[in-house]
Chains A and B, each alone.
Chain A
Amino acid sequence: MNYLSHVGKYFLMLSQVFRRPQRGRVFKEALLREMDELGLKSLGIIMFISFFIGGVIALQTALNIDSPFIPQYLIGFATKRSIILEFAPTFCSIILAGKVGSYITSSIGTMRVTEQIDALEVMGINSINHLVFPKVLATVFFYPFLIVLAMFLGILGGWVAGVTSGIFSHVDFLYGVQLQFDPFLVKYALIKTLVFAFLIATVPSYHGYYVKGGSIAVGKASTQSVVWTIILIVIANYFLTQMLLT
């Protein structure tokens, strides 16, 4: 019952999110600020992780297929597929759920416990729309670019691993990357990213907005929001894969 009431409250919150902003110029400023906080400031970690994980995927694949009957270009092919299909959209979203999700919950939660949200309400401002809508738009517009960058850097990382380690040929790797390139897979990854971006913005906002208590409650809400966002990303990933690829 408790879970059901949370689901109900979450959808009621969403009904308040998608309203016309009360003042365009304030909304525009908030949107740019959120793009910076939630998008640009996540660029570094996504670039760093994507590059090295791409390298590790390529090395692991190479080390596990040492049969002379399996062509080496399959290392590039498998790395590309792993990165485009799963690593970039799903695992980067999980990383973002941890980094951005805890930031969203703690910032909105702190506003709640320090009465800043009450201050907005007293002024006659729809606080949910004012606080959450820019975050949703910022993540939904920005994360596809971040994920495309993660794809590129992951594959680059794989190629660099080949060049530097000499375990596999980087020429074969590049051939494998270009082999049977299906643009729909990128589309599939971007559709998943949009759904995950929406979850990353809204689930932590929900946990922050309805927090009750003080700083400990905000900390607990941050942890819970990250856990729930990751759970929902994993569940959504399963259903989206079934819907789009089967």
Chain B
Amino acid sequence: MIEVNNLHKGFNDVQVLKGITTTFEPGKTSLIIGQSGSGKTVFLKSLIGLHTPEQGTISYDGKLNIDFTLEQKREWRQEIGMVFQGSALFDSQTVQENVMFPLKMFTKQPEDEMLDRVNFVLKRVDLENSNFKLPAELSGGMQKRVAIARAIVMNPKYLFCDEPNSGLDPNTAILIDNLVQEITHEYQITTVINTHDMNSVMEIGEKIVFLKDGVKAWEGTKDDIFKTDNESVVKFVYSSKLFKKVREAYLNETK
């Protein structure tokens, strides 16, 4: 479980995060939503340690990250899997080399054991027979799946995804969402996803945190989001006519 308490982060004179407090539970897909510039990416980068908070704490299974020694920090980082918005695959390496990279860096397994593990996770993301392709030879959806495979190859306790389905067609986006949710349930990972995609919210939002201007404006589940009367959430989530109709239909059905 990740517990965030009163998190503040700014750059120069601009305060981006203004005291966020929330928790993310294992085995659940938690989504961070909000408009562009609301602080989602800074929040996610603070969670994975790429930004150092100015104030507030983040604890991972009860351990505060500010108390970590260098060695503990290194161990903690090995418990993290991250899927970046642009996949961030090493473009000079093949799919197999990309996925095997964390194993090579942090384990002393023999080559054949590593290869078994790589093939296992590639099969898990439906990418068998792509071992020797370069990232440039893959479609956007396939690149995302390789990124997911690389993120889970070390059996992480925490999985972070920054807009995992941006730039993907709706069908592939849903496949990626479902894959992340299945993996989260299967391995009881604490998963935090940064997204703009309302389909993801409706599909896999077991916990949703809505950020507005660097503060947590609302949190709940995908069912709560239909019922909420929080003006900011309603304005953001139901900005399209289609989603307005979906909400009306849901509310009529549950009356």
Residues of A within 8 A of B (CB): 22-23, 25-26, 110-111, 114-116, 118-119, 121-125
Contact = CB atoms under 8 A, between A and B. Distances in A.
Contact of B105 (A23, A110, A114, A122): A23
Nearest to A33: B92
Contacts of A25: 104
B77 A26 contact: no
A123 B104 contact: no
Among B84, B86, B90, B105, the most chain A Cβ lie within 10 Å of the Cβ of B105
A63 to B, nearest CB: 48
A115 B102 contact: no
Contact of B74 (A23, A111, A115, A124): A124
B104 A122 contact: no
Contacts of B104: 23, 25-26
Contact of B88 (A23, A119, A124, A125): A119
B88 A115 contact: yes
Contact of A123 (B85, B86, B89, B105): B105
Interface residues of B, number: 22
A114 B74 contact: no
B187 to A, nearest CB: 18
Nearest to A122: B82
A115 B105 contact: no
A122 B49 contact: yes
23 contacts: A23-B106, A25-B104, A26-B105, A110-B91, A114-B88, A114-B91, A115-B84, A115-B88, A116-B88, A118-B50, A118-B84, A119-B84, A119-B88, A121-B50, A122-B48, A122-B50, A122-B82, A123-B80, A123-B102, A123-B105, A123-B106, A124-B74, A124-B106
B221 interface: no
Interface in B42-95: 48-50, 73-74, 76-78, 80, 82, 84-86, 88-91
A115 B91 CA distance: 11
Nearest to B77: A124
Given A111-B90, A119-B82, A122-B50, 10 more contacts: A23-B105, A26-B101, A119-B84, A119-B88, A122-B49, A123-B106, A124-B73, A124-B74, A124-B76, A125-B105
A124 B73 CA distance: 8
A123 B158 CA distance: 12
A208 to B, nearest CB: 14
Contact of A114 (B49, B77, B86): B86
Nearest to A113: B86
Among A115, A116, A123, the most chain B Cβ lie within 10 Å of the Cβ of A123
Given A22-B105, A25-B104, A123-B102, A118 B73 contact: no
Contacts of B88: 114-116, 118-119
A23 B108 CA distance: 9
Nearest to B82: A122
Nearest to B48: A122
A124 B85 contact: no
Nearest to A117: B88
B110 to A, nearest CB: 11
Nearest to B147: A119
Contacts of A26: 101, 104-105
Contacts of A114: 86, 88, 91
A119 B91 CA distance: 12
Among A23, A122, A125, the most chain B Cβ lie within 10 Å of the Cβ of A122
A26 B104 CA distance: 7
A110 B89 CA distance: 12
Among A22, A115, A121, the most chain B Cβ lie within 10 Å of the Cβ of A115
